[in-house]
Structure 1
Amino acid sequence: MNYLRFSGILAILMIAVSSCTTLDTGYKTPIGMELTIAGGLKGVIVSMSPNRTYITYNGKTFRPLNSNLLIAEIVMEISNESDAPIPYSELSSLELMTMDQHDQFAFATWSRPFDSDERIDLKSLNDLKPKMVPTGETTKEIFYFTYPKEAKPVGLSSKRKEFINFMDETNLHYEAVNKQMERSKVLESLTLLSSYLPYPEIKTVMDINNISLEEKNFNGLTLLYIGILSHNDSVLLGALNDGADFNSPAQYSIFKILPIHAAVLSTNKTAIDTFLARGCSLTESSVDSDSPAALAVRVNNPRAVQFLIDNYGIDYRNIKLKMNWSPAISAYKFAKMNNMQEIVHILEIQESSH
């Protein structure tokens, strides 16, 4: 038996056709429902098959690695009605919205099966950037989502700005689902507003919509991260003063980061100084992530590397980067090995000055 592995970051597009099964009573039949997808693509649901314990893909049977998960298979006709080709990678914005028995909502990203026996690797949607949906073309695509058994699919979204509600108006939870969809839209709007509005105005909107400081937007970022990355000190300091968790993790590409990592990568001195005063470190790493100084090298951010040297006296001769299958190596060796010419130059100048 093969098993499905899904990741919130890694995903791949599949083309296939599937039969439709009927949803539980109290749900709309989603056939024919249309969703505006990021980038100008349109998606129309052809079939939906939720509550599946396994799927068949390329002649093999797959089950979730976690036995407490079910699979929803959604087939859509994707069309490009714009006047320019659109990258397939825009489809990464699709998420399945679910609700559990406690009326708690969650969003699930989609992927394809991972064959653990044959080591069929998942590929990032970045690999699909050269693939385009030509103007006027329609193609049929299939998406697999995994979600907990105690939850039910209640909608489909694109970047949590556009939604399809699967609930029937007669369902007792119809209004709750609609309200959550509207809250999600507000949260995405706050992502933009928080980059320049003062914190008191943002907090007012959050309180009216019952949005907490720890809620994450489509990109997995809390208000604190947005304040850091946008250099909005009012939001940064206001969120911290109101109890925002400065140890709350997020994803940066494939890397797990903390707010101080975001502060370093965005060269936000106010944020760095604030986190250092709260006991954070620029040079210490955890089990799950690089130190902020090391991550600046790993992601090839020479501006951040120079910033740390100039403002905090970081000696990169002492910074090591973890490797998957070998001992940690020096920052200089890592940069040299990966042809990071600007960082190599910066570190050579630092070496020559000692």
Structure 2
Amino acid sequence: MQRRTFIRNTSLAAAGLGLSAKVLATPSPLTSNKLPKWKGFNLLDFFNPNGVPTKQPTTDDHFKWMNDWGFDFVRLPIAYPYYLDFDRSRNITPEEVYKINPKAIDEIDNVVMLAHKHNIHVSLNLHRAPGYCINAGFYEPYNLWKDEEAQKAFYFHWNMWAKKYKNVSSKKISFDLVNEPSMREDMNDQHSRSSAVPGDVYRKVAKGALEAIRKENPDHLVIADGNNVGNSVITEITDLPIAQSCRGYYPHAISHYKAPWANKDPEHLPEPKWPGQVGDQYLQRSMLEKYYQPWIDLANKGVGVHCGECGCWNKTPHDVFIAWFGDVLDILSSNNIGFAIWNFIGDFGILNSGRADVAYEDWNGYKLDRKLLALLQKH
């Protein structure tokens, strides 16, 4: 796997990440990224806060296929209520946020161990953290960015996960603090007005979580998703031993065409083209280069960078998707930045994506998008 090419015994201090020296990446000629060029998938087994196991769990075979195809990374976006024990017939109380369900923790751990069996690094992510999620659908009793009670609960959860994996190699697991932060007016309405989290606030919360993790786990990688829903470099934390995660969804006119959770009027949108005129914008590679330049600069300054989510919903024409995504991946890969598409099986994935314009290949009972797989393998 390509990752081995990048591993060197570089000093921990030079990493600036709190990451074991064994997993540091050798600088490329273009970008000196401190992270390995991991590539893989997000797995949605624990994405739903309802606590009910997914109908399509990730299996040993799935991890074997990933490994066989050359992938070495998965990100687990977890909704914290999934692993709690509380009365789900009503809204959760702040006290119940601390009621861990050991059985649910074991379910998550089983997936982690399967990934490790196939030499795949796992990045644990709180997709829904106490007091914040980019998606609605579960009532939050407070606001992570404003309420100290929410922040204490956030630190508690990360301390718990750090303790759980304190004896697991840093080559195998890392901690991604909270998915796509933003300062939303109404924490329980994903369509309410939002903006970037104030930098000093983001720093306070990220630093508090880092310290909670370090109490149990002194050298594992900690990652912070970019501010303003993953789009912006967090300049206020570049002095901390925390890597940063960008996104591969820009522009949304391509990646989220007709997505109902991302558009107020999904049925009346201009048809996506790449390159081409879409609405009042001409979409082309140069806009991607401008978008990713701050992330490339960040990596060159000594902060590890990875693209924790990327891809395209299944309503975008496949040829447009492949043309656009080829440019995204080329920019990331040529600057030594790894990536993880949003899912393995499903709307964004390489299996059973449900696209109407793909000649799928039968693969062990699944429908494989071979063209997308080949593009991912190329980079």
> One fold, TM greater than 0.5?
no
Q: What TM-score results when the alignment is normalised by the length of structure 1?
A: 0.32
Q: Rg: which structure is higher?
A: 1
Structure with the largest fraction of strand: 1
- Higher normalized contact order (CA 8 Å, seq sep 6+, divided by chain length): 2
Q: What TM-score results when the alignment is normalised by the length of structure 2?
A: 0.30
